[in-house]
Structure 1
């Protein structure tokens, strides 16, 4: 068995995205993703996926060039190699990460987001070579299925007139009735039993009304609200008071650990985050100040599946809950998320996933939700297979793009409908 990497392929693609609203704007008609493939001397190939914006691609290319001759089992070495690749600081200095809405970007965060795709690809290839599923390479699964939550969004019926975009059948959701109707569709199609609403779009009273409508329509079901740090401490506390009897947790109501600590001190509603705890260095302050009670991991920006396990162990040590954040991802990432989530002992909250919103994929078969859960594959590697025709089609779309869609920019997409739109200052309310 020869585990030496002989070829690395990077394929940037553009995938259709519905007009989903958040506090910064609206999703563009297409969003960039990067598909990573590593191949061994024995012809075994593994796949990974991450953000596809230019700054990630520019880092992935020199990183990929360093992998030839290394073994797919040398996972620790990936981080050493990443440190050797220079990051153009002018591309990220002071910028907010729109794709994950997780605060200011840094060179280290960017490197980890790239490494994560290569780590998953190497684990996939290693699993195929050894005849083992990825969850066994991570120590073995503790559950046979991973539960996911319906990810509800305020949404337009379609992208603005005249904008090239794919059609969807979800309809509009811009008020409580629309949000409930969307939730019913999620339940009918996928069997979800918990619901998360992306907030920070409308004034808090309107979003409180939407959560109340969900609570009435789905009594006893876990509910979450995530305004992506759009509220002041005072507003966050008011929302917590209004919804404390129905919320499973409130996610990132205010921006930053100090503000989250103030909110936490004034409410018994658990606070979750994927914005103020996004690196290991940020854990100490957040945990010692009791700023968060649930961390939403995302293997893309934590640096892969094994780092996700390390984060889960630290959370368990400090009595902090763990679940999983989602960005606009395809089936490769959902498979990776499911494998690592299956190995985490204390996963007491359903994970997030955008996957139902993505009408396109690069796999021969889409992953399926049954009763709101994804069955953990026991096939070698991730248990997924690339569809070369689909991959080529989505890559051609990327090649044909004039560059306007190669960088995710929710504010730019909003300006198509509202020319005077600027990203709102935080706190917005």
Structure 2
């Protein structure tokens, strides 16, 4: 065991980052959202970076893992999962709520633990790459593309204090897409649905198809529709949709919808763990899975998922949630190694005005160049990290757990999620 690669310490820094008022079926984004920055420091003096959700339930799992990781090698990725299973609690369901942070279904301790481990695994890979002078993609088998395509992520949106303005009708959605096209050159567009009556969201997709003929279009209502509503939307948009993402909740609903439409169904909700793969694939419930290293436990397991999808003829895309430059770098590094990445990846990054990396990644023609620098290819801005951590420390606790429903009830006291 190379002593230079032994973990000397792990630093955890919870932060609050500014977030615009983007709408989804669970409510609206709060003004600030919690993230967690993980630093793994080796005895050789190298620091690797990782990032994940920062809600208190994740912090509660990250703290014992950070203590336990000291003395282990950054090369021991398999041991990291065994260590986390030993020190981070059991696998019983945490509660019956949908995870508003990622809209990935009912929370369980297993899912939470994997999201924590993901940041530690990325930080270990970053440290290992920096130590060896190799990019992370080389540690994952090597890149198969020099740039990764991303999709514009469109949202229904309140006006807020940002430069984007409101988007509450088809005209607002189209104007938002124009700006994404102009500023970043994105070639495909995804609309977060489940917010307005389905016929209004159909009208928005139709308006996008008219404005951007031939561009790939996606609609994601996060399981807010009944089977019959989903089928009606699929009929209305069958000629323009690249895919329809999670129109219904759960494998049963998705399988029924899939059996009655030719529109490809994608998921980020009914397949987010390996245990959920066999039933969904056997029942042809989905034709595209959106991978997410935060969900699956890191970059190695993302590649395992990609291999399963390739084996069973299921397409692959990539999910995004509110994230910073560390996570975007990790997403790009692993995406570069996936031969059958069939669709442009999601990213929230253009919505984020704050970051903890010294240089913001720049999209050209909707793509990010794959860094060949050692590790992830990003450097930590310690002043920015400290400022965002101070915001977290100064918070009274009301923003340390993301709660889109609570934010929406500040606008409408009687609001509750609608199933169309």
Q: TM-score, normalised by structure 1?
A: 0.96
1:157 aligned to 2:159?
Answer: yes
Q: Secondary structure at the match of 2:82?
A: helix
- Which residue is equivalent to 1:163? none
Q: TM-score, normalised by structure 2?
A: 0.98
- Which residue is equivalent to 2:394? 400
Find runs of 4+ consecutive structure 1 residues off by over 4 angstroms: 88-91
Deviations 1:314-354 (A, max 9, x none): 00000000110001000000000000000000112000000
Work out whether residues 3 and 126 of structure 1, in 8 Å CA contact, stay in contact via their aligned partners in 2: yes
Measure, in 2, the Cα distance between the counterparts of 1:365 and 1:313.
33
Q: Secondary structure at the match of 2:316?
A: strand
Deviations 1:389-412 (A, max 9, x none): 000000000000001110000000
- Which residue is equivalent to 2:97? 95
- How is 1:7-26 mapped onto 2 (pairs within 5 angstroms)? 7-26=9-28
Measure, in 2, the Cα distance between the counterparts of 1:138 and 1:391.
28
- Which residue is equivalent to 1:329? 323
- 1:313 pairs with one of 303, 307, 311: 307
How far has the Cα of 1:421 moved from its partner?
Answer: 1.7
Work out whether residues 55 and 91 of structure 1, in 8 Å CA contact, stay in contact via their aligned partners in 2: no
- Which residue is equivalent to 1:202? 196
Over 3 Å counting, the alpha-carbon distance change for 1:260 and 1:76 in structure 2 is same
How far has the Cα of 1:88 moved from its partner?
Answer: 7.9
Q: Secondary structure at the match of 1:95?
A: strand
1:249 aligned to 2:243?
Answer: yes
How far has the Cα of 1:107 moved from its partner?
Answer: 1.1
How far has the Cα of 1:418 moved from its partner?
Answer: 0.6
- Which residue is equivalent to 2:118? 116
Q: Which structure 2 segments of 5+ residues have no match? A: none
1:49 aligned to 2:43?
Answer: no
1:289 aligned to 2:291?
Answer: no
- Which residue is equivalent to 1:280? 274
How far has the Cα of 1:24 moved from its partner?
Answer: 1.0
1:355 aligned to 2:355?
Answer: no
- 2:69 pairs with one of 63, 67, 70: 67
Q: Which structure 1 segments of 5+ residues have no match? A: 159-166
How far has the Cα of 1:96 moved from its partner?
Answer: 1.4
How far has the Cα of 1:287 moved from its partner?
Answer: 0.4
Over 3 Å counting, the alpha-carbon distance change for 1:90 and 1:16 in structure 2 is farther
Work out whether residues 56 and 110 of structure 1, in 8 Å CA contact, stay in contact via their aligned partners in 2: yes
Q: Secondary structure at the match of 1:148?
A: strand
How far has the Cα of 1:142 moved from its partner?
Answer: 0.2
- CA RMSD of superposed structures (Å): 1.1
Work out whether residues 138 and 343 of structure 1, in 8 Å CA contact, stay in contact via their aligned partners in 2: yes
Measure, in 1, the Cα distance between the counterparts of 2:49 and 2:343.
28
- 1:390 pairs with one of 384, 394, 401: 384
- How is 1:406-421 mapped onto 2 (pairs within 5 angstroms)? 406-421=400-415
Measure, in 1, the Cα distance between the counterparts of 2:253 and 2:66.
40
